[in-house]
């Protein structure tokens, strides 16, 4: 299986984030980022991959 390539796109301009990008955006560990993402209802599954909706997270945190 091919490794996912990374883009140089600004995180603020993206609709969906990977778990690593979510950690970077929130400044916390994986467990805390996943827990917060699930509480916000921001989990999006595409095939076997998991992404997080940035709009739902921002709405939840405000």
In this structure, the number of other CB atoms found within 10 A of the CB of residue 24 comes to 13
Predicted pLDDT of residue 1: 66
Q: Which two tokens stand for residue 24?
A: 């970077």
Q: Any idea where the domains of the chain sit in the sequence?
A: 15-61
26-47 CB burial, b ≥16 within 10 A, e <16 = beeeeeebbebbeebebeeeee
Q: Is the pLDDT of residue 56 over 90?
A: yes
Query: What sections of 5-53 are H helices per DSSP?
Result: 19-26, 30-40
| Spatial separation of the C-alpha atoms in residues 38 and 22, rounded to whole Å | 12
Q: Each residue of 6-49: pLDDT tens digit?
A: 666 677 778 999 999 999 989 999 999 999 999 999 999 999 99
């Amino acid at each position: 299986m091919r490794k996912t390539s990374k883009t140089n796109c600004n995180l603020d301009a993206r609709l969906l984030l990977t778990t690593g990008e979510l950690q970077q955006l929130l400044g916390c560990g994986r467990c805390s980022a996943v827990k917060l993402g699930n509480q916000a209802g921001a989990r999006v599954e595409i095939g076997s991959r998991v992404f997080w909706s940035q709009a739902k997270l921002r709405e939840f945190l405000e």
